[in-house]
Structure 1
Amino acid sequence: MGVSRSYLSRAEVQKLLGVNAFGMWRLVRKYAMFPEPVENPYSPRERPEPQEVWDGAEVYSWAAETAEFTSRGAALLRPLPGSPAPARWLGYRDTLRGPALDWHTSIGVLRIVHCDDSRVATALATAIHASGNEEGVVSVCALYGDMGFHGPALVAADTAQPGIEYEVSWGDIAALAGQVLPWWPRLLRLPHAIRHWEPGAQAAVVSIPLSDQEIILHRAAASGVFDTIASAALRDMANSIHNDRVRETRREIEIFCKGREGEIPNPVIAGAVLDTSRHPLPREGERRVLKTGWRRLALHPHAHAVAALEVALDREPDLLPFGAVIEVPVESGTVSDRWACRLTECRPAAAHAVLAQNDKAEAYFTDPLTGMPVLRTHGADSRHVWRFYTPLSLPGGGAELASVVLHHTLWVTTSDGHVHPAPCTPTEYLWWGDSWGDRASEAAAVVDQILDRLSTTVTLHKHRNAPTGLTRLFSERHQQGTELTRATLLQARKAPRMRGEGKH
């Protein structure tokens, strides 16, 4: 996506402009706006005298706008003819990057490919140049992936200099074509829709195809493996994804096809009309019921459940029954070792498979008190580690927090003798110390909530409002294994804010 950078040596600049060494010396002095050389990103920094290079697009664009070198500059940046002849539409051409539309204009054939991958314009222009360019294509335009002046931003590469990409205005291309040009939003950029278009024809009505995530969820729901509630949760998430994709496409068409307020409308039309006959798709069930469905899926061993759970973790992790992923070394005599003694070995469920992250697990476990999946595997340094999901809340039963132990994460000891990983939300993590100026407000917020009620389901969306004394305590450097008693934590929570200390 975007314009790829190219760099020209002094000899290449001379060849591009058709000058010798003296001519290069002359033009640098004659033209104050001639581009300065830039640092060569490919030269070793230790080289005492790095080779001078120029930004290819800068030189190419400068030449197009300079009378002496216009014919050697970027074809689409040269001054437009005063009264360009009407362009003739030549239909579509299939390319390696999808169908392209060709226009025969007053400067030659322009090829517009509706793709925003990196270096598309260069790749197609190079292929045309290598094949002899029998069709007379002057320049290939591809989408930049953003909004530009008067329509979608474009990047171009000329067949005469295919290695140099440069930006070009949609309005200038429309002026050369002599009419408003079609454009397809990202999710409707389908080969059959582009091939269907022709000037003056009614736009095709196109449905947004299912995404890979939707296919996974629908396949699991239709498999017959899961119960009614789990299947409803799968369909609900699939429908939610599709509804978002329809809204995204509508918004994209609004942005790219409308003109700026008070100005002439952009010379761009949507090449296809969005089919919304079934939109919005229905949502199934209350959030509480959906959570029940996802809990059942997390505990199911079927491969469909594994694939669906991966989608849910990426899409809406708050629906799942567990928090952040934590990894700690397997070490005897530590607080985590006390916790590990109560783990129950089990057969792997979907949650275990997703937790494994493609690593080979030695054994699978469940924490019988919190229900959290756990596995033992090898870490990055080949040492044995425990990898587990943190619970969202801790079992209460009348007990209260007795202390917090700092050992790779936060561990909670309780008044009834149990040890738990501290609860955490799926998208946060718990730490202590000074992290490049940041403060450990997440840890402070969790402790603040469970000090009052051990079984609280923690929330961290306002963790920066945690008591400043607790935040200060967890922002200090502590040794691994440090234990902070309940009294210490309560005292820190009551500590007044220090002068100059604001909310984080």
Structure 2
Amino acid sequence: MGIGDTYLSKAEVQDLLKVGSFGMWRLLRQYKDFPVPEKNPYRRSYDPDPAGPVWDGTALYQWAAGTPEFRHRGAVLARPLSGLRQPGRHLGYRDTPHGPATDWHTDIGVIRMLHTTGSSAALSAAVGLAAEFNREIVTVCSLYGDIGATGPALVAVDTAQPRIAYEAQWGTVVDLVGQVIPWWPGLLRRPEVIRQWQPGAEVVVADVLAEERETVLREAARNPAFGVAARTALTNMANQIRNQRVEDVASEIQIFGDHASRDQTRMVIAARHDAAAHPIGILEEDDDVDDVLVTGWREIAISAQPDAVAATDIALGYHPDLLPFGRFTDVRAKEGTIAERWSRRLTVCDPTAAHATLAEGKQVEVFFVDPLTDMPVVRTKNDGDEGAKWLFYAPLALPAGRGELASVVLYDTVWITTTDGQVHPAPCTPGDHLWWGDGWGDRPTEAAHVVNQLLDDLARPISLRNHWSKAPTGLTGLFNEEHKQGTELTRATLLHARMTPPTLRR
């Protein structure tokens, strides 16, 4: 388990173990398992003087705990346990700045258990307690998120050495406490739930609270400005998000519960969700339902309602395939380029939800729409560094009745010219991207597969499923070359490449 990187200098090692220079010299020779020093990973190449060797603080601290001579200076929860111990006792719930906690009195002092998987919760809590000169709490544990050898994995930080985190065993804490320790699934790990627990208490049944995305979608679904299809789409996605959270809790309980059932003396699941109240129903997927959802999200994407902006932003991250556009793309706005030629047909418009998601965090000059594909387009202001840019979503398909593919132009993305004089950004699905050149071992099969389909039918809705196996080898090889920006590949060049057979291995 990787806990964290804390490196100690020679002077800090001597201070931790309370040895002098001679004692340090003796350690390196007497103990064959003494952690090996290493070069300081934080030393910069331009630092004037070498920083000297350093030691992995976690490894050294745990080594000390297992070495009789230095055991009293090593990690508290890594030290061998004494045979005779008094039963521990539960000191109750605590609200802390680092998350909900329960305190346990043991023979070695008070162990604070933080019921959070925050990456630095135990460290921050131990540092704060050490600054307060708290001598009662000897160590702080927090959850690591997965399962260790004896129960939920733990990170521990001792208040005597609040810089050094190490892995602790759930079973060690149980042995010190002398009774089972409660565990809560992540989405039920809330103060109002945890504070209800006492040793021997019944399992608490708690609600799975709605997260922000679900709340935003349900609020938007109540907006009377949206039609039936849009409200259905919003509600359905909210229900999907809700169900996923409920299923996550159920799965977590099952995984940790199965582990706990092997040794019922170590862990008790202290809270469960209300299974009778969930899940909220969602629409079963079929062609009719898909049509309703796609229609609904199209209405939302072209709406100017503030609720539509928030909902579209959520859909982009959660289920972009329902939206009426493909991959986000940005290209430099320069005269004489294929992008400038394309921009001549764009028409100025008022911004929609789709425009708002394109423009997020940008200084916008004008909002446009492509009249042939209905794709939203944004032109940013010239900021002096990167210059102005065109921001747009790639179309999912090109308009029918527009001739054949005449050529492909490579300029920041893949562009299509047609035999009737039109220019389009190449269509692309939301989860893919179009590129060319050496991809450090990753070949541009997406671009090759899209162009292969458009050569046969310009208006064909694009699919990129299994593009890595379906893209013609010759086209993939052509797009794998390091073409200059603005390179134009004619239809003849593309067809010839497509007909090139793969090289047979001998």
Q: Classify the TM-score, shorter chain.
A: over 0.9
Residue in 1 that maps onto 2:464: 460
CA distance in structure 2 between the partners assigned to 1:190 and 1:54 by the alignment: 38
Would you say the 8 A contact 2:325–2:395 is kept in 1?
yes
Residue 397 of structure 1 pairs with residue 398 of structure 2 = no
Residue in 1 that maps onto 2:96: 95
CA distance in structure 2 between the partners assigned to 1:125 and 1:332 by the alignment: 59
From 429, 440, 443, the equivalent of 2:444 is: 440
Q: Which stretches in structure 1 are left out of the alignment for 5+ residues?
A: none
Seq. identity, %: 52
SS in 2 for 1:118: coil
Residue in 2 that maps onto 1:80: 81
Does the C-alpha gap of structure 1 residues 43 and 413 become closer, same or farther in structure 2, counting only changes over 3 Å?
closer
Residue 410 of structure 1 pairs with residue 414 of structure 2 = yes
Would you say the 8 A contact 1:402–1:486 is kept in 2?
yes
Deviates more, 1:418-427 or 1:334-343: 334-343
CA distance in structure 1 between the partners assigned to 2:110 and 2:22 by the alignment: 36
Would you say the 8 A contact 2:326–2:427 is kept in 1?
yes
Residue in 2 that maps onto 1:252: 252
Residue in 1 that maps onto 2:488: 483
CA distance in structure 1 between the partners assigned to 2:53 and 2:483 by the alignment: 52
Deviation (angstroms), 1:220: 1.0
Does the C-alpha gap of structure 1 residues 266 and 320 become closer, same or farther in structure 2, counting only changes over 3 Å?
farther
Would you say the 8 A contact 1:344–1:368 is kept in 2?
yes
Question: Which residue identity is paired with 2:502?
Answer: R
Deviation (angstroms), 1:266: 7.6
Residue 116 of structure 1 pairs with residue 117 of structure 2 = yes
Does the C-alpha gap of structure 1 residues 222 and 170 become closer, same or farther in structure 2, counting only changes over 3 Å?
same
Question: Which residue identity is paired with 1:416?
Answer: D
Residue in 1 that maps onto 2:152: 152
Query: Once superposed, what is the RMSD of the aligned Cα atoms?
Result: 2.0
SS in 2 for 1:258: helix
Would you say the 8 A contact 1:342–1:368 is kept in 2?
yes
Deviation (angstroms), 1:367: 0.5
Deviation (angstroms), 1:386: 1.5
CA distance in structure 1 between the partners assigned to 2:15 and 2:489 by the alignment: 72
Q: Number of paired residues?
A: 499
CA distance in structure 2 between the partners assigned to 1:275 and 1:457 by the alignment: 44
1:77-134 deviation per Cα after TM superposition (whole angstroms, max 9, x unaligned): 1111213222111111211112211111122211101112122212212222332326
Q: Which stretches in structure 2 are left out of the alignment for 5+ residues?
A: none
SS in 1 for 2:58: helix
Deviation (angstroms), 1:347: 0.3
Residue in 2 that maps onto 1:222: 222
Residue in 1 that maps onto 2:348: 345
Residue in 2 that maps onto 1:49: 50
Alignment of 1:35-434 (within 5 A): 35-46=35-46, 47=48, 49-133=50-134, 136-259=136-259, 264=263, 267-284=266-283, 286-378=289-381, 381-397=385-401, 399-434=403-438
TM-score by length of 2: 0.94
CA distance in structure 2 between the partners assigned to 1:119 and 1:370 by the alignment: 49
Residue 17 of structure 1 pairs with residue 21 of structure 2 = no
CA distance in structure 2 between the partners assigned to 1:333 and 1:99 by the alignment: 61
CA distance in structure 2 between the partners assigned to 1:382 and 1:473 by the alignment: 29
CA distance in structure 2 between the partners assigned to 1:474 and 1:332 by the alignment: 25
1:244-284 deviation per Cα after TM superposition (whole angstroms, max 9, x unaligned): 111112111222232299x5458222221111222221114
1:122-172 deviation per Cα after TM superposition (whole angstroms, max 9, x unaligned): 2212222332326x2121111122221121111111122222111111111
SS in 1 for 2:501: coil
Question: Which residue identity is paired with 1:350?
Answer: A
Deviation (angstroms), 1:431: 1.4
Deviation (angstroms), 1:384: 2.0
Would you say the 8 A contact 1:258–1:266 is kept in 2?
no
TM-score by length of 1: 0.94
Deviates more, 1:218-227 or 1:441-450: 218-227
Deviation (angstroms), 1:48: 5.1
CA distance in structure 2 between the partners assigned to 1:342 and 1:320 by the alignment: 24
SS in 1 for 2:324: coil
